[in-house]
Structure 1
Amino acid sequence: MSFGEHQAMTGVLTIELRDSQGALVDQRRVHNLITRGGKELLANLLMGKVDALPNAWTIAVGTGATQTQMADAALATPVDGADDRGPRVEVIDQGGTSVVRATVTATLPERKQGEVQPLTEAGIRIKTKAGVEGILFNRVTFAPVNRGPNMVMTLSWEITF
C-alpha cells in the first residue's frame, strides 16, 4: 500500500456588495491564480527568511481586464484597496485529514459621490516587515461588479492548503 499526500493550494474570493441599509446587492465567489511572487513568498517563509514576514495584507481592486498570469506583479488598473491587519488561520479536520485555511477580509467603505465603478479585478498585496512593498500574492478577474455611491464592498479571500 502506498501512502502519500497531494498538496494543493487554492484561493477563492467572495465579494459582497451592500447598499447603505445593509441589504445584499450582489455576491460573487471566484477562484484565483496564486502568482509567482505569492509562491516565492510562501517558499521564503517556509525556509525561515525573516525578511519575508508579512506586515500588512491589503485587498486591492481594479478595473483591468487582462487575463491573469503567473508573472503578474500588480493589478492591471488598481483603483482602491483596504487592509486586513488580522488575517485568520484555522485548521479544519475532514474525517482523518485536515486542511489549513487562511482568510483575509477587507471592507471598502462607501463612496460618497461619483459614478458607478465597474470593478473587474482583485488581488492580495502584501507588505513585508523588511519594507518590501506590494508583493501581489494572487490575482483574479471577474465579470463587472458595479460599486456605486453609498455601497459598501466586503472582500473575503480564503486560501486553502
Structure 2
Amino acid sequence: MAIQDTMDIKGSLTIQKRDLNNQLVEEIRANNTIVTSGRRLVAQLFSKDFKDTIKPVSQIAIGGNDKAVSDDDLQLAEEIFRKKINPIKDNDLVLLPDSKRIKLTITADLQAGEGNGELKEAALFNEDKVMYNRVIFKPINKTPDFTLTLIWEITF
C-alpha cells in the first residue's frame, strides 16, 4: 500500500484600507508567491545544522514596483517601507475544517504616516533580510488620510 502526502505551501494577501475613523473603505486581495529563499527557510527548520540560526519571519516590506514575481526574487523591486509584523499568537494557527492543512495568519498595520506613496508590492522577511514571499497587487496611492492592514494567510 502506497502512502502519499504533499505539502504545497500557498499564501494570499488581503489589504484593508481604512479611513481615519477606522471604517473599511476598500479591500484588495492577491495571491502571493513563496519564493525559493522562503521555501529554503522552511526546509532549514528540519536541519539540526540550522536550529540555532534560523530566524522566523518578522517583518513586512512594501514597495512601488509591479515587476512580475520570480521564484529567484530576494528583495522587493522598489522598497518604500519596512516594519515588524504584529506578534503571532496561538490562535493565528488554525486547522482548516475538513482538511489536513494549517492556516497561519500574519498581520501588520501601516498607520497614517507610514509607507506613503504608490504601493504595488509587498513581501515578508526575517530579520536577516531573507525574503519568504512576494506579491504584486493593484496600485494603492497611500497617503496620511488612511491606514492599511496587511493580512497574509499562509496554508501548509
2:133 equivalent to 1:138: yes
Is the partner of 1:154 in helix, strand or coil? strand
Is the partner of 1:38 in helix, strand or coil? helix
1:90 aligned residue: 93
1:58-137 map, 5 Å: 58-84=59-85, 86-88=87-89, 89-95=92-98, 97-111=99-113, 117-127=117-127, 133-137=128-132
Is the partner of 2:100 in helix, strand or coil? strand
The CA distance in 1 between the partners of 2:94 and 2:147, in whole Å, is 30
Worse-matched range after superposition: 151-160 or 97-106? 97-106
2:12 equivalent to 1:12: yes
Which amino acid in structure 1 is aligned with residue 78 of structure 2? T
Query: Does the 8 A contact of 1:106 with 1:154 survive in 2?
Result: yes
Q: What's the offset of the Cα at 1:53?
A: 3.1
Which amino acid in structure 1 is aligned with residue 81 of structure 2? D
Q: What's the offset of the Cα at 1:146?
A: 2.1
**Equivalenced residues, count:** 151
Which amino acid in structure 2 is aligned with residue 40 of structure 1? R
Cα root mean square deviation, aligned:
1.9
Query: Does the 8 A contact of 1:17 with 1:147 survive in 2?
Result: no
Q: 1:146 to 1:36 in 2, by over 3 A?
A: same
Q: What's the offset of the Cα at 1:159?
A: 0.9
Structure 1 unaligned blocks of 5 or more: 128-132
1:152 aligned residue: 147
1:23 aligned residue: 23
Q: Deviations over 1:74-96 (max 9, x none)?
A: 0001111221252245241533x
Structure with the bigger percentage of strand: 1
Q: 1:13 to 1:117 in 2, by over 3 A?
A: same
Is the partner of 2:41 in helix, strand or coil? helix
Runs (4+) off by over 6 Å: none
